[in-house]
């Protein structure tokens, strides 16, 4: 008995109800999948996340009987476990039973994470397990729920709080215009929240590099997108602390979700020095680059 699986499909719905696919085919299987590296428009706060794939078993009857992993009258199933300490949840669910038959069996998986649910990272594992037992054969599993393989069928780890979700990103169509520009429209960073009414990164869909950076087609595209985000963070920090003259110590006690609190988090996380002698665009950007693993 052999099995194969389709590529994992990752999708989401935007605010207008339109579905977008996040192409993760270039991801290295052993590495965590940082969603914003593949689509900077996706945000765990504003968008859902839809995972889907299918498993195909060419002759599932080979799993049953004395030469298989369980008696012919028992039941096997494919399930998954999702665990996320940062999101505060773990669930183990059945996808579908595996029939004892000689013909091919296809089991389809779909999981929808509603917006606002995910934080940080999560791990998903797929496995075959003993669903029901009526006869226990020597040398075979005898406890319902036992995994029937030493290793999971597949494992994926997702990073959902990548740098692209730090501030709103919208698309504009401006032929001949720059690839991106930043609109800062807040009234008071201590009060205003980080949303489209206060800070917007605008990506120009008419620019020749737009499709590449959005789809993360090459290393160069991903590098350009990361540099854009670093420059945007630098401009936001400078606007508040240098141009408007706020003191970073005032931001520590700001409400969660405000611009001030986000800036305070950036300054602390990326070890940005705010003394006048060291506080300029170059030093801010370099500090972020040196600590980009904290994105």
Alpha-carbon distance of 153 to 169, in angstroms, equals 36
- Which one is predicted more confidently, 114 or 218? 114
The mean pLDDT of the chain is: 87
Q: What angle do CA 86, 186, 163 make, to 5 degrees?
A: 30
Alpha-carbon distance of 78 to 181, in angstroms, equals 47
Residues in a beta bridge with 171: 203
- Which one is predicted more confidently, 67 or 43? 67
Alpha-carbon distance of 244 to 246, in angstroms, equals 6
Q: What is the pLDDT of residue 85?
A: 74
Cβ pair 136, 142 in contact under 8 A:
yes
Alpha-carbon distance of 183 to 116, in angstroms, equals 25
Confidence grade of residue 221 (pLDDT, cut at 50, 70, 90) = confident
Confidence grade of residue 164 (pLDDT, cut at 50, 70, 90) = very low
Q: What is the pLDDT of residue 30?
A: 64
Cβ pair 189, 240 in contact under 8 A:
yes
Asked if the model's pLDDT at residue 256 lies above 90, the reply is no
One DSSP character per residue, 9-76 reads EEEEE-TTS-EEEE--TTS-TTS-EEHHHH-TT--TTT--EEEEEEEEES-GGGGBSTTSSB-TTSEE
Q: Which run of H or E residues covers position 33? A: strand 33-34
End-to-end CA distance of the chain: 43
Residue partners of 193: CB distance under 8 A and separation at least 6: 257, 258, 259
- Which one is predicted more confidently, 9 or 278? 9
Q: What is the pLDDT of residue 165?
A: 43
Residue range 169-211, pLDDT digits in tens: 888 999 999 999 999 999 999 998 877 788 889 999 999 998 8
Q: What is the mean pLDDT of residues 223-244?
A: 92
Asked if the model's pLDDT at residue 217 lies above 50, the reply is yes
Asked if the model's pLDDT at residue 163 lies above 70, the reply is no
Q: What is the pLDDT of residue 223?
A: 85
Q: What is the pLDDT of residue 294?
A: 54
Asked if the model's pLDDT at residue 38 lies above 60, the reply is yes
Cβ pair 230, 223 in contact under 8 A:
no
Q: Which residue has the tokens 């998954």?
A: 80
Asked if the model's pLDDT at residue 131 lies above 70, the reply is yes
Alpha-carbon distance of 196 to 163, in angstroms, equals 17
Q: What is the pLDDT of residue 39?
A: 83
* Least-confidence region, from 13-17, 20-24, 286-290: 13-17
Confidence grade of residue 150 (pLDDT, cut at 50, 70, 90) = confident
Residue partners of 155: CB distance under 8 A and separation at least 6: 123, 124, 125, 126
Confidence grade of residue 159 (pLDDT, cut at 50, 70, 90) = confident
Q: What is the pLDDT of residue 179?
A: 96
């Amino acid at each position: 008995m052999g099995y194969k699986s389709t590529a994992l499909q990752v999708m989401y719905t935007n605010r207008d109800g339109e579905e977008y696919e996040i192409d993760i085919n270039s991801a290295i299987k052993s590495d965590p999948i940082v969603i914003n590296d593949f689509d900077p428009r996706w945000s765990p706060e504003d968008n859902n996340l839809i995972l889907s794939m299918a498993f195909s078993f060419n002759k599932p009857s080979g799993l049953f009987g004395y030469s298989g992993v369980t008696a012919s009258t028992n039941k096997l199933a494919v399930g998954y476990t999702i665990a996320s300490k940062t999101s505060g949840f773990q669930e183990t669910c059945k996808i579908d039973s595996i029939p004892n038959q000689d013909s091919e069996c296809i089991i389809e998986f779909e999981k929808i994470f509603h917006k606002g649910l995910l934080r940080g990272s999560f791990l998903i594992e797929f496995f075959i397990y003993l669903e029901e037992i009526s006869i226990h054969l020597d040398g075979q599993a005898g406890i319902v729920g036992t995994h029937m393989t030493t290793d999971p069928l597949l494992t994926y780890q997702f990073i959902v709080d990548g740098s692209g979700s730090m501030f709103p990103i919208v698309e504009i169509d401006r032929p001949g215009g720059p690839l991106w520009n930043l609109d800062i429209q807040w009234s008071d960073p201590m009060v205003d929240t980080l949303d489209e009414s206060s800070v917007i990164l605008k990506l120009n869909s008419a620019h020749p590099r737009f499709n590449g950076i959005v789809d993360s087609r090459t290393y160069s595209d991903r590098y350009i997108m990361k540099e854009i985000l670093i420059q945007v963070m630098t401009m936001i920090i400078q606007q508040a602390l240098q141009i408007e003259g706020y003191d970073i110590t005032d931001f520590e006690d700001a409400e969660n979700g405000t611009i001030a609190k986000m800036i305070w988090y950036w300054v602390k996380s990326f070890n940005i020095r705010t003394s006048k002698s060291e506080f300029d665009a170059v030093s801010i950007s370099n500090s972020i680059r040196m600590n980009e693993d904290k994105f």
